[in-house]
């Protein structure tokens, strides 16, 4: 691992019992505040998919930050996948389960049919959020060119749900 990525990984904090008891939250805000670490991680998020996507989509909320930065790094546009009720004209919605509840995400249909989208989020845990993101993208006639996450928490079954994906950092 290159030194900038190793440093970036060291900036991710683990916060126990947030947002509720029993959850170990991965806080990436120190990484986001460090320009070199953020740049190294966004390069690592897009590198395996270089040339295979037209836009980057990010899942609200921390996925927005990483996907927006990754889109700039790759020289492509950014598409938000938002929580229910946040888009003015959602074209598709998907309900999914979280580790600690349920949620709904929505997406616009502003892109040409067949657009290749790199889907990015911050953490892969159980896979529910990314599976919903993939479903909403495909339901609108777009192609998921790849899925990339900053941090994978192994042992929670997310990879079994998502299948092939790229992770920058892993933890058990």
Q: Of residues 102 and 143, which shows the higher confidence score?
A: 143
Closest CA to 27 of 5, 7, 43, 12: 12
101-107 and 24-27 strand pairing? unpaired
Confidence of residue 138 (pLDDT cuts 50, 70, 90): very high
Q: Is the pLDDT of residue 92 over 80?
A: yes
| Average pLDDT for the chain | 93
The region, left, alpha or beta by phi > 0 then psi within -120 to 50, assigned to residue 56 is beta
Mean pLDDT computed over 4-25: 91
pLDDT at 19: 85
Are the C-beta atoms of 126 and 99 separated by less than 8 Å?
A: yes
143-153 and 92-98 strand pairing? unpaired
- Listed by start position, the domains of the chain span 48-166
pLDDT at 172: 60
Mean pLDDT computed over 117-135: 94
Q: Does domain 48-166 have CATH number 3.40.50.300?
A: no
pTM recorded for the entire structure: 0.94
Mean pLDDT computed over 139-166: 95
Q: What are phi and psi of 122, to 5 degrees?
A: -80, -50
Q: Of residues 99 and 168, which shows the higher confidence score?
A: 168
What residues are annotated to the active site?
62, 99
Residue 50: CA atoms inside 13 Å, Cβ hemisphere, count? Answer: 6
Mean pLDDT computed over 27-38: 96
Q: What are phi and psi of 63, to 5 degrees?
A: -65, -30
Mean pLDDT computed over 132-151: 97
């Amino acid at each position: 691992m290159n030194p900038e990525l190793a440093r970036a990984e060291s900036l991710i904090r683990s916060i126990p019992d947030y947002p509720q008891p029993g959850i170990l939250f991965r806080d990436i805000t120190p990484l986001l505040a460090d320009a070199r670490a953020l740049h190294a991680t966004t390069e690592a998020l897009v590198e395996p998919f270089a040339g295979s996507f037209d836009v980057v989509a990010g899942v609200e909320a921390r996925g927005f930050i990483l996907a927006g930065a990754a889109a700039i790094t790759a020289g492509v546009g950014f598409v938000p996948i938002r929580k229910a009720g946040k888009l003015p004209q959602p074209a598709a919605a998907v309900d999914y389960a979280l580790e600690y509840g349920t949620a709904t995400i929505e997406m616009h249909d502003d892109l040409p049919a067949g657009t290749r989208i790199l889907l990015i989020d911050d953490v892969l845990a159980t896979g529910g959020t990314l599976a919903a993101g993939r479903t909403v993208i495909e339901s609108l006639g777009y192609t998921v060119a790849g899925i990339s996450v900053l941090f994978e928490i192994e042992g929670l079954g997310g990879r079994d749900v998502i299948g092939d994906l790229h992770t920058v950092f892993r933890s058990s």
